[in-house]
Amino acid sequence: MANATIIATTGISFPIGHSLSEGFSIFAAVSFTLIIVSSIIFNTVLVATIISVKRLHSVTHVFIVNLAISDLITVIGTIPFGVDFMLRGQFTHGLIACGIMQTTFLLSLPSSVLNLSLLTAERLITIKLPFHYMQYLTKRNITIAVISIWSYTLLVALFPIIYDSDAIGVYYGNCVLIYPPAYDFFQLIANFLIPILFICFANIVLFYVANRQALKMQATTIKLGSFVDVDSQEISKKESKEKVSKCVSNNNIISNLLPAKRTRKTSISARVKFISKNVKAAKRIGLLLGVFFICWVIYIILVVTNISCGICHPRELTWIGNIINYSSTAINPLLYGMLNKNIRQEVLKKVRQFCRMCSRTKSAKGDSLVKKLCKRNTQTYENVYGGGQRYGSGAETLL
């Protein structure tokens, strides 16, 4: 795990440092550095945009912000130690730093997968119960869900240290976390397999329900459209004139001229758009799940098989699994942020504002520099011009 040797049993001999070739160490360090920089930029921009723009304050984005915070915790608390470990060849930061690194790494799996589970559940409730979902997705319920997730993930991450105060150690230049074998299987089953199965099942139900409702709404809209067209032709000119005069006198909107059937058609059309919008959001969540699954399943397979065979894999293979795993922290904000139209528009707006501010700052600096140069040239000119007058006066005196 992470940039450390994580073992499930004691008595295993440790290599001195990472025992990797210089070329691979540089490759891993550069990869980790790129992941850190890109992840911090993308996640920070995503969180700042959602928090600063009021129209983005929704239940879905609450869980997206939590997912971004989880990625930032991993990037700040774990990966930098990996860069240092690759460059130095060994872990040199003591027990406290080792404990922080291991705890933040163990936070990453449950916090990510549970936030994805809540995102999927929120989409399912919204589409399954379009007229009643606000009864369930209240501020109180969302707050309880978020607090519960972070309390659970913190407990899971701290369990090895709570179970054994000597679980953290630095041996032969390696940061080591020692825990019972059952903890591995608990992480695999409770914090990976069960949530993944739930998300897959929920997405199947979600798309089935959304497709069925969309087909019903489309059929109803077609029927109402033909009926409304006939009904609207039967409205007499006298009634239309009375409605027009009444609208003009009362400053009402033109939509009041439409018959009741047209209003119903409009509401159904709005509902179709509502379902379509939520299906698109569900597809983005499904894409996030796919990336998460690919990035984590490779690493988990490597760890489980490595422990089963008594750490028989080449260490380069394990570190490649780490690189793939950590890359999800930079991919997640791009997937959801750039595929979400509202977030994408706001991010681009913020970027344009930042660029304009930078250009104004550069322009102001340039203007001040020009003014200084002009002032200096003016002073020089005045000195020269004044000196010429003095020389002229002296010459006249001599003559």
Answer with the residue of higher pLDDT: 266 or 159.
159
Residue reference for tokens 């140069």: 373
Q: What is the pLDDT of residue 302?
A: 82
Q: Which CATH architecture has domain 5-217+288-355?
A: Up-down Bundle (1.20)
- Range scoring the smallest mean pLDDT among 26-40, 69-83, 296-310: 296-310
User: If you average pLDDT over residues 333-357, what whole number do you get?
Assistant: 81
Taking all residues of the chain, what is their mean pLDDT, rounded to a whole number?
75
Where residue 154 falls among pLDDT bands split at 50, 70, 90? very high
What percentage of the chain exceeds 90 in pLDDT? 16
User: If you average pLDDT over residues 200-213, what whole number do you get?
Assistant: 77
How far is C-alpha 225 from the chain's CA centre?
42
Amino acid identity at 3? N
Phi-psi region of 2 (alpha: psi -120 to 50; beta: other; left: phi over 0): left
Distance CA 292, CA 332 (A): 8
Distance CA 82, CA 35 (A): 11
Distance CA 40, CA 329 (A): 9
B/e letters for 283-307, b = 16+ CB within 10 Å, e = fewer, are: ebbbebbeebbebbeebbebbeebb
How far is C-alpha 131 from the chain's CA centre?
29
Would you state the structure tokens that stand for residue 250, as one six-digit string? 């009362």
Beta sheet of 5-7, edge-to-edge order = 5-7, 174-178, 168-171
Q: What is the pLDDT of residue 27?
A: 93
Residue 352 has pLDDT above 60, yes or no: yes
Q: What is the pLDDT of residue 226?
A: 52
Answer with the residue of higher pLDDT: 167 or 283.
167
User: If you average pLDDT over residues 375-398, what whole number do you get?
Assistant: 47
Where residue 36 falls among pLDDT bands split at 50, 70, 90? very high
Nearest residue to 5 via CA among 176, 168, 170, 172: 176
Residue reference for tokens 């799940």: 289
**Alpha carbons within 13 A on the beta-carbon side of 349:** 12
Tens digits of per-residue pLDDT, 289-301? Answer: 777 778 888 888 8
Where residue 315 falls among pLDDT bands split at 50, 70, 90? confident
Would you state the structure tokens that stand for residue 234, as one six-digit string? 């039967």
Where residue 393 falls among pLDDT bands split at 50, 70, 90? very low
Nearest residue to 275 via CA among 213, 331, 345: 213
Residue 252 has pLDDT above 80, yes or no: no
Where residue 317 falls among pLDDT bands split at 50, 70, 90? confident
Nearest residue to 185 via CA among 298, 303, 314: 303
Distance CA 169, CA 6 (A): 10
What percentage of the chain exceeds 70 in pLDDT? 67
Where residue 381 falls among pLDDT bands split at 50, 70, 90? very low
Residue 6 has pLDDT above 60, yes or no: no
Neighbouring-strand partners of residue 5: 176
Answer with the residue of higher pLDDT: 391 or 173.
173
Q: Which of 12-16, 77-81, 273-277, 342-346 has the highest mean pLDDT?
A: 77-81
Nearest residue to 8 via CA among 163, 193, 194, 172: 163
Q: What is the pLDDT of residue 128?
A: 78
Would you state the structure tokens that stand for residue 266, as one six-digit string? 């409009």
Q: What is the pLDDT of residue 299?
A: 82
Q: Mind giving me the DSSP string for 215-251?
A: HHHHHHHHHHHHHHHHHHHTS-HHHHHHHHHHHHHHT
Distance CA 56, CA 345 (A): 11
Q: What is the pLDDT of residue 178?
A: 84
Sign of the Cα pseudo-torsion (72, 74, 79, 81, in order):
positive
Nearest residue to 78 via CA among 160, 166, 177, 3: 3
Where residue 223 falls among pLDDT bands split at 50, 70, 90? low
User: If you average pLDDT over residues 107-130, what whole number do you get?
Assistant: 84
